Amino acid sequence: MFRRIPHQRYFAILGGLFAVVFTLSAIHPHHPADWFLENALVVFAVAALLAVRRRLPFSRISYTLIFLFLCLHELGAHYTYAEVPYDDWFRALSGRSFNSLFGWERNHFDRLVHFSYGLLLAYPIREVFLRVANARGFWGYFLPLDLTMSSSMLFELIEWGAAEFFGGELGQAYLGTQGDIWDAHKDMALASVGALVAMLITAALNHRLQHDFAREWIESLRVKHAAPLGEDEIARLRSIPR
């Protein structure tokens, strides 16, 4: 059933569902200015997916993973990440505090989303590396992990810059450190762990299903060009007639 839905139709279905989620998130957000700030990158990401949907359609799995991450983000944007009342929801269902089960004192929804960033988006990133850069073997797993880690670091810098620029309540709401001086480090670490888990799962599945898995890894690590580059390559390029 899942495979019978054409990619473009599946994209349209998830796009329609996300439009509903996005609209609900926009209805009376707890911090309207923060909601707009949180969704700036979402608008850019959705526009990029729309722009490449015909030339580079993603797999249904990747579209689903992206959709799930964006839904989590919209939940955080509606309440602000530091105020998502998951503990109240859990207490209403079970009569106990979720945070008390683990001895937590802060709201950890932001930690979940940073972990999910790696866990849910590393696979779509892998698709791009495989289909555009023709990454194979080791590089088909390392490069998605590497880009997830570096983009997570870049986002922390964007958060810092936005907090400095806007300042005050909006800056604090967007930054969402909740008094933890190591907040950015923990967020980057969780995104990295999430991506590592995603790539380990992908590698395990491919090891089971791909008959040339080991040979592809060995070939990907083989030296393709024995001659050094750097100054030698510069000299070679300068010697080529224009």
Q: Specify whether the CB–CB gap between 90 and 98 falls below 8 A.
A: yes
Residue 178 pLDDT: 63
Which of the residue ranges 31-40, 98-107, 155-164 would you say has the lowest mean pLDDT? 155-164
Mean pLDDT of 26-44: 91
Give the dihedral sign, CA 112/42/151/221.
Answer: positive
- Rounded to whole angstroms, the Cα distance separating 22 from 13 reads 14
Given a cut of 60, is residue 27 above it in pLDDT?
A: yes
Residue 3 pLDDT: 66
Given a cut of 70, is residue 72 above it in pLDDT?
A: yes
Tokens 């023709």 belong to 134
Tokens 């992990």 belong to 145
Q: Specify whether the CB–CB gap between 34 and 80 falls below 8 A.
A: yes
Given a cut of 90, is residue 172 above it in pLDDT?
A: no
Domain boundaries, the chain: 7-222
Residue 58 pLDDT: 94
Per-residue pLDDT band for 168 (boundaries 50, 70, 90) equals low
Tokens 């790539």 belong to 199
Per-residue pLDDT band for 176 (boundaries 50, 70, 90) equals low
Given a cut of 80, is residue 137 above it in pLDDT?
A: yes
Residue 7 pLDDT: 83
Given a cut of 90, is residue 190 above it in pLDDT?
A: yes
Cβ neighbors of 153 (< 8 A, separation 6 or more) are 188
- Rounded to whole angstroms, the Cα distance separating 108 from 84 reads 9
Given a cut of 60, is residue 171 above it in pLDDT?
A: no
**pTM, entire model:** 0.89
- Rounded to whole angstroms, the Cα distance separating 103 from 56 reads 45
- Rounded to whole angstroms, the Cα distance separating 208 from 56 reads 27
DSSP 103-155: T--S--HHHHHHHHHHHHHHHHHHHHHHHTS---TTHHHHHHHHHHHHHHHHH
Number of Cα atoms under 13 Å in the Cβ half of residue 78: 17
